[in-house]
Amino acid sequence: MIRRAIDWADVHRRLEQSQAALSDTSEQSSERVRQILAERTRRMAAVVVDTRKERLALLLVCRLGAERYAMHLGEVAEVAALGALALPPRAPPALLGAMNLRGVVHRVFDLGRLMGGAGLVGAGEPGGHVVVLRRQEFPTGLRVDQAEGIVPILADRLAVNASAHQNCFTKTMVDGLLILDLDKIKALIAGPGK
């Protein structure tokens, strides 16, 4: 096979272009920051307008395997990365262990195992996040694959879809999100925990 000869001039030109692009990226970082700040300002102004007109419910979206769950933000104390766990003897299968979070020992339960694994394809990735719940007798966290973010949902929509998608652990489903019934989960936690 006869290979085409290298056009060294073209090679040098492409290298120079790459170098120039890299330099432009470095130089435009301050401009990029300014644009981000402007966009943030704009969004903040928009949110203020929206919150004054409508009533929104804030939900924490978590991914567990291929499915995405949401829970009321008012039930969540914080989200943390899953750290080192100490597994006590004779612990229930759903209890992953105890985790030290800023000096406070938290119980960490696997959300997938608590829910019996139904419909959790691909759950159990290494790492993951811990969603710390509010108002628990013992500090408690639920391990999820990823806490993706917070989404505002109109409260009216949550009430409309409640009857159609209610099962053991979920209340309803909005825009593809399964809204968890944290009361049932807490009751479940209270059982094994005791």
Partner 1 sequence: MRFTVKAKLIASFALVILLTGGMALVAKDGIVRLDETARNLAGLYTDRIVVANEIRHALDSSTRDEKDMLLETDDEKIRSRDVLILNSRKESHDGIKKLLAISVDAQKKNLDKLEETLIRYDAIQDRVRVLGKSNGLTHAMNQSMGEGEKEFQTIQSILRQISERSVGAVESAPIERLRVAFMAERLMHYFQSSMKYERTTILAPNDAATDTAIKMSEARQDAVSTLLPAFVKALSGPDQHFADELKDRFLHWRQIHEEVMALARENSNLHATELSQGESRVVAGELENQIDAIIGVARGVMADASAEAKDLALHLRLSLLITVVLVMLIAIGAAIWLVVSITRGLSRAVTLANAVAVGDLSQTIMVTSNDEIKDLSVALTTMTGNLREIATQTRSATENLNSATAEIRASTQQQAAGVEEQLAAVQETSATLDEITQSGVQMARRAKEVASAAEIAVQASHAGLHAAEDTTKAMDAIRDQAESVAENIVMLSEKTQAIGEIIITVNDIAERSHLLALNAAIEAASAGEHGRSFAVVAAEIKNLADQAKDATSQVRTILSEIQRGINSSVMLTEEAVKRVAYGKEQTDTTQRTIHDMSDNIQISVQTFQQIVAATNQHQIGLEQTMQALQNIRQASKQTTDSTRQLDGAAANLSALGQQLARAVSQYRL
- Residues 132, 123 contacting (CB under 8 angstroms): no
At residue 36, the 3 state secondary structure works out as helix
DSSP H or E segment with residue 158: helix 155-160
Residue 40 in the binding site for partner 1 (CB under 8 A): yes
**Strand intervals (E) in 54-145:** 56-64, 67-72, 76-81, 85-86, 95-101, 104-110, 129-133, 140-144
Q: Is 85 in the site for partner 1 (CB under 8 A)?
A: no
Instruction: Return the closest-CA partner of residue 73 out of 3, 134, 1.
Output: 134
The nearest distance, CB 78 to partner 1, in angstroms, is: 5
Nearer to partner 1, 81 or 105 (CB): 81
Shortest reach from residue 126's CB to partner 1, in Å: 13
Q: In the structure encoding, which two tokens stand for residue 177, read together?
A: 């999100």
Positions 137 through 156 that interact with partner 1 (CB under 8 A): 147, 149-150
Phi, psi of 154, deg, nearest 5: -60, 135
Strands (E), the chain: 56-64, 67-72, 76-81, 85-86, 95-101, 104-110, 129-133, 140-144, 146-154, 170-174, 177-180
Among 74-82, 89-97, 104-112, 170-178, the segment contacting partner 1 (CB under 8 A): 74-82
The answer to whether 105 contacts partner 1 (rule: CB under 8 A) is: no
Size of the site for partner 1 (CB under 8 A): 22
Q: Which one-letter DSSP state was computed for residue 168?
A: S
48 makes contact with partner 1 (CB under 8 A): yes
Provide the minimum distance between the beta carbon of 138 and partner 1 in the complex, in angstroms, as a whole number: 20
Nearer to partner 1, 82 or 178 (CB): 82
Q: By C-beta, is 136 or 167 nearer to partner 1?
A: 136
Q: Please, what is the minimum distance in Å from the beta carbon of residue 131 to partner 1?
A: 9
Candidate segments 4-12, 75-83, 95-103, 104-112, binder of partner 1 by CB under 8 A: 75-83
Give contact residues for partner 1 (rule: CB under 8 A): 36, 39-40, 43-44, 47-48, 51, 58, 60, 73-74, 76-81, 129, 147, 149-150
